[in-house]
Amino acid sequence: MLSTSGILGYGYAEESLKIGMSWEPHVIGCDGGSTDPGPYYLGAGKSFTSRLSVKRDLRLMLQASVAAGIPCIIGTAGGAGGEPHLKATADLVREIAREEKLSFKMALIHSEQPKADLRGWAEAGRTRPLARMKPLDGETIDRSERVVAMMGPEPFARALDEGAQVILAGRSSDPAQWAAPAIRAGMAPAPSWYAGKMLECGAEPTVPKEPDCIFLRVRNDHVVCEPPNPIRRSTPLAVANFALHENSSPIHHVEPGGLLDTSACRFIPVSDRAVKIDGMTWTPADQYTVKLEGVELAGYRAIAICGTRDPVLISQIEDYLTTHREKVLAKAEAFGVPRDAYTLIVHTYGRNGVMGGWEPLKEFASHELGFVIEVVARDQDTANAVLAMARTSMLHADFPGRLCKEGNMAFPFSPSDIEMGAMYRFNVFHTLSLDDPCAIFPIEYEKV
């Protein structure tokens, strides 16, 4: 199986694709999305990758798959896998097909869930909270902008059974789109799922690491990982390191329908650029579950970016920021915005901008500091108004020992205030029990 990249639109070397196709894969594909960029894209129905870059990647993949007569599979289409994301990706596929005069059967697997169904499942006790979430209830569902379910391999297998050559899926478990064709071809679940873990991020299990293609050969008791690009190598360390990623446990990977255990895996070089992995096991779950992901509107955001190189100000920045906050709160109240109507945060880079209050190093020695002033309010006008006051107060406020009587800050942009628009937060992060793994993932087919 040939994966072109970690995310559709991140790019890959065209020569890598050509070499990979010369190795005669049974499937070509790419993961189309992730929750890594946060909740905004699911809520807004937008992609975090550009249409131009996705079209480039898709065009080459569709040409290659149609020419070879093999399936092309995209999971979590459009970045987040909701209906707007799936539709946008399908429209792009149709556009490419017209331009390149390609013809194929396409399957669209939907994963966005109706609120009425979600309420019924919650009331029936079929949902369970993950992490520190509360049990799912009707109020939470009603506030949700969009909720998707993360499908396993079964809907992909059903689409393949129906002869689909191009499969675009909504939200799916990253390795599921790869486990499906391998299991369907008769391979054992353990190496099939493990292959999916390797393929989901393209050339990540290689050195040097960069968005590019990766090729996996799946057998009943092992897989072999090898990059088509001759400048890259899969090594035991690179593969083992990648196998630990994005999971609460480094060895136990919970997936729809079971548990992949990698604790006994061995990483055996079979050449200077290919690695054989064996020892993985698969334990079927007593109850089949999928994950639900949903977001709700949390307000509207505005930001401003600035910085200072004033050593006097830097030496007392904590006191300065405390005073700045109190001034903004008072001035905002003066023009009718109460303190509980917004959130004001000043991210300070060079001090604790990355980790905030979790930063363990309390002492710092920076010659300059960068600031991102952030305001979140119930509406955009309020966020803009409070940000304007926060920005001007940051620029002009006095402090002990001040020598410069003009501005305290340098602003890289004009206009300085950036309207960010709607802000979303995750509010559904639950599992859903299913009797039929395909029941909530309807598939539609079309001739392109």
- Kindly state the percentage of the chain with pLDDT values over 90: 96
Question: What pLDDT is attached to residue 247?
Answer: 80
pLDDT digits (tens, 9 = 90+) for 5-47: 999 999 999 999 999 999 999 999 999 999 999 999 999 999 9
Which three-class secondary structure state does DSSP give residue 235?
coil
Please report the pLDDT score of residue 404 as a whole number: 85
Q: What is the pTM of this model?
A: 0.95
Do 367 and 443 lie in a common domain? no
348 shares a domain with 253: no
The pLDDT, as a whole number, for residue 15 is: 98
Q: Which domain holds residue 388?
A: 310-409
Within-domain flag for 418: no
- For residue 358, the SS3 value is helix
Mean pLDDT of 262-274: 97
Q: At what angle do helices 14-22 and 51-68 cross, to 10 degrees?
A: 20
Query: pLDDT at residue 48 above 80?
Result: yes
- 29 and 75 Cβ atoms separated by less than 8 Å: yes
Q: Look at residue 367 in the predicted model and tell me its pLDDT.
A: 96
Residues 165 and 285 in one domain: yes
CA distance 273 to 57: 25
List, in sequence order, the alpha helices (H) in 279-316. Answer: 311-314
Taking residue 398's Cβ as centre, other Cβ atoms within 10 Å add up to 9
pLDDT tens-digit series, residues 342-398: 999 999 999 999 999 899 998 888 999 999 999 999 999 999 999 999 999 999 999
Confidence (pLDDT) at 307: 98
Q: What is the pLDDT of residues 271-291, one digit of tens each?
A: 999 999 999 999 999 999 999
pLDDT over 90 at 239, yes or no: yes
Do 139 and 273 lie in one domain? The reply is yes
Same domain, 277 and 315: no
CB of 34 closer than 8 Å to CB of 7: yes
Q: Domain count for the chain, please give it.
A: 2
pLDDT for the residue numbered 318 = 95
Examine the domain organization and report whether 172 and 95 are in the same domain. Answer: yes
Within this chain, do residues 242 and 344 fall inside the same structural domain, yes or no?
no
Same domain, yes or no: 214 and 126: yes
